[in-house]
Structure 1
Amino acid sequence: MGVVVESEVWEPQPFFYLLLFFFSSSSILLFPYFSSSARTKHHASSSSIDFGSSATFPRFQRSFLVLYSLASLISGLGSVFGDSEYQHYGASREQIVMCLAAGVAVSLLVGTFLGMISDITGPRKACMVFCILHLIVGFLKSVTKHPSVLLTSICLSLASSLMSFSFETWMVSEHEKGYRKDLLTDTFWLMTFSESSSLIGSQVLANFMVKDTNKGFFTPSTPAALLALLSIIYISKEWTGYKHSFSIHKYRESFYDQVLGDKKVWILALAQGFLHFSIYMFWILWAPTTVADGREVQLSLLYPCFLGSKMLGSTAIPWFFSGASPFRNDDSLTAAFVIAGLCLSVVAYDYQDVGVLLLLFCIFCACTGFIIPSLARLRTLYVPNEMRGGMISLSLAPSHIAILFFLLQGGYYRNISNSTIMAMAAIGLFSAAGCIHALKRWKKQTPENWHKL
């Protein structure tokens, strides 16, 4: 008589999704009421639903968020299956790692300079190239049963580099045409919120479209290509243009003087690089860390939890940084870095209870949802928008070097364990907290900033 061994399948409770939705909705809906007293003291301040005297701002914000949501949806459709898509095309584990490493290497060698090129030629063209790259990848996957995995990885990496600065630079440049500076904070957190919701939507759309992976045409690549084409048309129609006064020579001189020559910008760039490294390693390692104890886990059910937590974290921004904020606190960003670092530290200790891991990962994602728009706000304070793209792409270069090193040593040669990589990600977050603390002390000594929010 044979023995049947039942495997334990772990999945989150349904109430957890409802809890995330409830807290996110409450954070958005209750903020105007709790900030009413603060708004009385600051008649010119704004909240997430108060746009003040900028009559045309709601239309601009809606148009931009629609475009940014489309771009996020396209990115999500391009990477929704992760390693499973590479395995479907017959790639081995080592080949998958080398493809990821090739993408990071291209981001390092080419993507580092894309921000500077975007500053000179205009963010409109950078956004168009982002859409064209996804259009190419979607077309190749749709018409070819076995597309070049290396080529798609390189294209997606370049598109990710472009997205890290192009849309933000465009949005801030439009704000500088006459909108109130304090409204930027609202748009920053709404960008993070809409990006996370679009990534969840990409998972839903992908699960709906893909019924049989052996049928190559009706895969997420087809709607991704169509959405990329729609975005190109949308950009061409809605964008009014971007005026430039920089020549290459003048831009180089200004960049050396106002970015490379400013220690505050260096500190901010280091914090951005540490964050990028930690987030990248999290998305690489969360799945193998979760199933490390041998239990079967519905990983597709955890992905929305992480993104929902990120959405929840982004809704905390107006509570701390809006002009009508009842809990305004400049130390909140430092605390968010520390909390995120502590979460990864516990994971690095090789804790393997799935429920606790889910909680720690959700707290980490909530912290990143708070940190990302907070850093965008600091970039507006210290970095001239004419050099914003160059600063962002240059700040990611050290993190790309570290990512490439750990991908090869940990993923390909297996000389470094996953727990060690996770510990390095935690150290990076603690280092970023130190950078923000140093920046705050420097701000007290030199209160002059490029902008005032």
Structure 2
Amino acid sequence: VVQKAHRNMESPNPLFIACFLCLLIFLYILRSSLAEKDRSKIIVSTEFKTFQRSYLLVFLIMMGADWLQGPYVYELYRTQYAYSETEIGQLFVVGFGTSMLFGGFVGSAADKYGRKKLCIVYALLYSGCCWTKHSPDFHVLMFGRFLGGISTSILFSAFESWMIHEHHSKSFPNEWLSETFATATTLNGFVAIFAGVLGGLLVDNFGLVAPFDASWMFLFMGGGAILMLWGENYGDQQAPILATLKEAGNRMFHDPRILLIGCIQSLFESAMYIFVFKWTPALGDVPHGWVFASFMTAVMLGSTIFSYLVRTGHKIERFLIGVFVMASVSLLVPVFVSPTKLEPGVEDDAITSLNTKVTWLRFASFLVFEACVGVFWPSICTMR
């Protein structure tokens, strides 16, 4: 009954779909315009293309599994399992905290035991995380967040490490590495958009758990692709994990630039993860799949703007300050613009109309923030 009610509540809103399509068209026009101005292209070998495809296929499937879940974690806890915001916050903290605690060990473990093995472990652990979403039990859901936290640490370290090691072991030129990163970033944006649309369709027809089941299927396919397409590679197997972490810490504190760039990234991503937790309740009853797809399109717009700024000679250190200011202002909007609450059973057309305008204003501010995220990611990677 709850699932049916939710499906009716989150039936696709034509205005949100129209907004998404407008963003997509604008993105296409902008990217096409920039492509016309920059026709330079790196010439690569057939062997490199084969290697690149084997990496991108796996990486994009695994990222798709992650993107599918994003818009519905909070909504599942709130709507289907009726947990309070405090309890949902505790579940999110477990996920983020686990990722923080295990993040430092994942890279060393991948070096020691094999990056391919750890990527398969990612598929297994994240599948377990998806299966826990079928249970309304708080402790089972918390265990799922624990598995998800470890999985996230693996996703954003082991896959890239495997690719870089294979790239160098096959003696491909260093400039081809940027080609793989650029292609992965672009295609990952399209995968995120596709995942948002697919997730919305699944929720409308099968309920809130459906995107997590689809995610499990993606993980199964990705794990199979790893087994068939990837070879194993290692880092320094002799170095103790704790000694490696200690050396990394020493380097960080002896070079102020490393510490500073770490603080910049941590502060921005802290705001980003708070946004991940709060955007669903901030927008209320909206078609989350289409909203998420719009967010991902805004991120791609931001990365396209970054490319334009760099090509036209703008300094990253300069325009990134503006990005921080714009992101801060965009997140101030929902602080000062709030919907008016109505008593249960009370209807007021004027207040309902005002609340609709509030939702759209918040949505617009969130699109600006996501565009800032799209500029921030390649900027911070380049600065690193």
Unaligned runs of 5+ in 1: 1-8, 37-46, 380-453
1:257 is displaced (CA, Å) by: 4.9
AA matched with 1:340 = A
Q: Say whether 1:100 aligns with 2:92.
A: yes
AA matched with 1:21 = L
Deviations 1:150-187 (A, max 9, x none): 11121122212222322233333334343343444444
The correspondence of residues 272-311 of structure 1 with structure 2, limited to 5 A, is 272-291=265-284, 297-311=286-300
Aligned to 1:223: 214
1:139 is displaced (CA, Å) by: 4.2
Q: Say whether 1:329 aligns with 2:315.
A: yes
1:280 is displaced (CA, Å) by: 0.6
AA matched with 1:375 = I
1:308 is displaced (CA, Å) by: 1.0
AA matched with 2:233 = Y
Q: TM-score, normalised by structure 2?
A: 0.77
Aligned to 1:314: 303
The residue matched to 1:240 in structure 2 has which SS?
A: coil
- Cα distance between partner residues in 2 of 1:187 and 1:316: 20
Aligned to 2:350: none
- Cα distance between partner residues in 2 of 1:375 and 1:160: 19
Unaligned runs of 5+ in 2: 1-11, 340-357
Identity %: 21
Aligned to 1:29: 32
1:310 is displaced (CA, Å) by: 0.8
- From the superposition, tell whether residues 53 and 104 of structure 1 become closer, same or farther in structure 2 (CA, over 3 Å): closer
- Cα distance between partner residues in 1 of 2:93 and 2:18: 38
- Cα distance between partner residues in 2 of 1:342 and 1:145: 37
Q: Relative to total residues, which structure has the larger helix share, 1 or 2?
A: 2
The residue matched to 1:315 in structure 2 has which SS?
A: helix
Contact in 2 for aligned 1:320/1:328 (Cα 8 Å):
yes
Contact in 2 for aligned 1:336/1:370 (Cα 8 Å):
yes
Deviations 1:261-304 (A, max 9, x none): 3222211211221122111111222233334xxxx644444222
- From the superposition, tell whether residues 287 and 139 of structure 1 become closer, same or farther in structure 2 (CA, over 3 Å): closer
The correspondence of residues 27-106 of structure 1 with structure 2, limited to 5 A, is 27-36=30-39, 50-87=41-78, 88-106=80-98
The residue matched to 2:159 in structure 1 has which SS?
A: helix
Aligned to 2:369: 364
Aligned to 2:345: none
- From the superposition, tell whether residues 372 and 191 of structure 1 become closer, same or farther in structure 2 (CA, over 3 Å): farther
AA matched with 2:326 = I
- From the superposition, tell whether residues 131 and 344 of structure 1 become closer, same or farther in structure 2 (CA, over 3 Å): same
- Cα distance between partner residues in 1 of 2:331 and 2:75: 25
Aligned to 2:328: 341
* Count, aligned residues: 348
Aligned to 2:148: 156
- Cα distance between partner residues in 1 of 2:237 and 2:294: 44
**Deviates further, 58-67 or 262-271:** 58-67
CA RMSD, Structure 1 to Structure 2 (Å) = 3.2
- Cα distance between partner residues in 2 of 1:60 and 1:73: 20
Contact in 2 for aligned 1:333/1:371 (Cα 8 Å):
yes
- Cα distance between partner residues in 1 of 2:252 and 2:301: 33
1:133 is displaced (CA, Å) by: 0.9
1:71 is displaced (CA, Å) by: 1.1
1:14 is displaced (CA, Å) by: 4.8
AA matched with 1:75 = D
Deviations 1:300-323 (A, max 9, x none): 4422211110122223343344xx
Contact in 1 for aligned 2:265/2:380 (Cα 8 Å):
yes
